[in-house]
Structure 1
């Protein structure tokens, strides 16, 4: 196996902490913009979260998609997410506003 092939196999699937988009990244990557929301992601922090980050990321809230009325559970830190039922983009701030 060549070094190049070995590098390609060292990837991890992560979830963007901003939009919950799924990404595949190299374990050697330090940071990158999310291909879904374009926000900058600290890859090392996502791959090796501190105990405090793990603790806060376990807090979730339930929301209802304004397009299809599907129920979703998202992190309390989530600002936007694609609906897992209809794939439309949901701005969490809009859903929480009365």
Structure 2
């Protein structure tokens, strides 16, 4: 575990547990060997065994800066998750911990 709190409800409204990271009406969870997202963010279902790393990008050409987590496996982009700018690092760390990286 890193220095961040990795279990329970945090002051900023997100809930973090072993199988799930949720905030507002969004949820990312590990379920039956898949990384699954639901809510207002885009929906993905990616086999955890294929995930090697997670990066993020923030494009400054849009009105709002919305980071996207890029989920890679064997050099291939497996999927993207739009996340809150203030949670991008925390969600990235949470996913990497769950996939053993």
Under a length normalisation based on structure 1, what TM-score does the superposition of the two structures give?
0.30
Between structures 1 and 2, the one with greater strand share? 2
More helix by share: 1
| TM-score when normalising by structure 2 | 0.29
